[in-house]
Amino acid sequence: MKLKNIYLLSTALLAVVGSTASAQMTLNGAGATFPAPLYQRWFAEYNKTHPDVQVNYQAVGSGSGIKQVIQGVVNFGASDAAMTDEEIAKVANGVVMLPMTAGSIVLAYNLPDVKELKLSRDVYAGIFLGTITKWNDAAIKKDNPTANLPDLAITVAYRSDGSGTNFVFTKHLAAISADFKTKVGEGKSVSWPAGVGGKGNDGVTSLIKQTPGTIGYVEYGYAKQNSLSMASLQNKSGNFVAPSAKSGASTLASVEFPDNLRIWPSDPAGAEDYPIATFTWLLLYGKYDDAKTAATLKDIVKYGVTDGQKFADELGYIPLPDKVVKLVEDKLAKVQP
């Protein structure tokens, strides 16, 4: 009798475990490394109040994220470059692009004896063109007369993977430098004239930390979290502006979105604007075959653009303006089960 009761109890427990397992939902996403720390924080926080929902996000770069959305192998993607009309046309269920957060792309450098560094538009374009190759170059010294600039070769660190950070940074350089536009161009992947490549924002961050004399472009949050030195960049108004939440927000404050919510302020004109700031997008399908998947993703997005924004500043991102939150919520309604 006792054995029978134990058997019945074991069977009941297995049924409960099986029921719980079946209630679990796992969502898979992939894409941009730029917003990865914030997205992963959101998904972890969401899981605390929705333990039945697990979100796996792979920070593999915007190019790979877009590719996986087109292939239909993920529930959502992420890209700092959004998606082109041609890319969207390859997705049978359509794509809804949602700007979820924003941030600045900074020029982080490793010069232990140089605490502050100003780089003019001509200088930082020249560095990434490979035409300015020494830290004590006269063009750099001109704007940093008291800095202890070493007689040291400049090592450029760039993104080796197809990335939205590449897209935004090269789009800006092409906007301020005719030579860069002609010789390098813009895109998620370009052929850099000089330097060493690292995969993802974390790969470039590691290169900068490892080698004195290195300069590279990374998202502000990565530089902040790794205590990297960041240059003040000259903006279109001629002012040198340090990267910060305030200067990044100034850049994005006047952005007017088109209906598809895809826009980049490539060379902002405001006197206090930091010159390289961008939104970054989640890529949802316009229609999901599974109603529960669609509803859960929509709930996660609503959390991200509302309560989730409170984590933005501490992680080095720019909280979304209220008007952008409203645009995202309106666009989200177009996602169908």
| Domain containing residue 234: CATH number | 3.40.190.10
Greater confidence, 160 or 3?
160
Q: What is the pLDDT of residues 16-25, one digit of tens each?
A: 444 344 459 9
**Are 153 and 196 in the same domain?**
yes
In a domain, 172, yes or no: yes
Q: To the nearest 10°, report the CA torsion of 31, 35, 37, 40.
A: -60
* In a shared domain, residues 57 and 165: no
- The answer to the question of residue 284 being in a domain is yes
In a domain, 12, yes or no: no
pTM as predicted: 0.81
Task: Using alpha carbons, select from 128, 120, 131 the residue that is nearest to residue 166.
Answer: 128
62 alpha-carbon distance from chain centroid: 8
Q: Same domain, yes or no, for 122 and 268?
A: yes
Contact between 166 and 189 under an 8 Å Cβ cutoff? The reply is: yes
> Per-residue pLDDT tens for 158-211?
999 988 899 999 999 999 999 999 999 999 999 999 999 999 999 999 999 999
Residues 123 and 150 in one domain: yes
Residue 13 included in any domain: no
Same domain for 248 and 120: yes
When divided into structural domains, the chain yields a total of: 2
Q: Per-residue pLDDT for 8 more than 90? A: no
pLDDT-above-90 percentage for the chain? 85
Enclosing domain of residue 178:
104-254+264-277
* Same structural domain, 237 and 113: yes
Band (253; pLDDT cuts 50, 70, 90): confident
Phi and psi, residue 315, nearest 5°: -95, 5
Q: Are residues 269 and 308 in the same domain?
A: no
Whether 169 is covered by a domain: the verdict is yes
Are 61 and 181 in a shared domain? Answer: no
